[in-house]
Amino acid sequence: MKKMIFLFCMAVGCCTFTQAQDAPKDSTLKEYIGKYLFPSGSVIAETNVSLGDDGVLTSSSSAGVSELVKREKDVFEIPKFQGTAKFVRDANGKVMGVVIDAMGYHLEGTKSENGMAAMFFPAKAFVAVRAK
């Protein structure tokens, strides 16, 4: 009986430790959350980056929604649009913008000061319309 209790406690402890190790991953993705605005005349006016309850980072705009798959620090793949998003930081390390290369388009956007709204309101859809 003592062995069973010991094994049960060990299993619970291991599960708790494993879940605690995943927490920093989610917190590092939070710095990308926000609304990014693109210059007038761009194929999209804005994109919203949000973090779901499942820990998946998503970008959405008028063109559609795509998961952002982390490849390295500040660089994400945009699978739905065969592209990449590279987040730009200022001298203090704060995320200030994004450069998107997807489906033949190059977009440079700046993070909106009101970008926190993306955490609470779902956006419409993400980037790109194919160039003809």
- In tens digits, the chain (132 residues) has pLDDT values of 555 454 444 554 544 444 444 444 446 899 999 999 999 999 999 999 999 999 999 999 998 999 999 999 999 999 999 999 999 999 999 999 999 999 999 999 999 976 444 444 443 333 333 333
Domain assignment of residue 102, yes or no: yes
Domain assignment of residue 95, yes or no: yes
Domain assignment of residue 129, yes or no: no
Domain assignment of residue 87, yes or no: yes
* Closest C-alpha among 121, 129, 103 to residue 49: 121
Q: For residue 77, what are the domain limits?
A: 31-119
Domain assignment of residue 114, yes or no: yes
Distance CA 2, CA 9 (A): 11
The total of structural domains in the chain comes to: 1
Distance CA 92, CA 26 (A): 21
Using a cut of 0.75, tell me whether the model's pTM lies above it: no
- Residue-level pLDDT at 6: 45
* Closest C-alpha among 105, 119, 128, 100 to residue 48: 119
Q: At 105, which CATH number?
A: 2.40.128.50
Domain assignment of residue 66, yes or no: yes
Domain assignment of residue 19, yes or no: no
Domain assignment of residue 105, yes or no: yes
Contacts of 123 (CB under 8 A, 6+ apart): 35, 47, 48, 50, 60, 61, 65
- Residue-level pLDDT at 113: 78
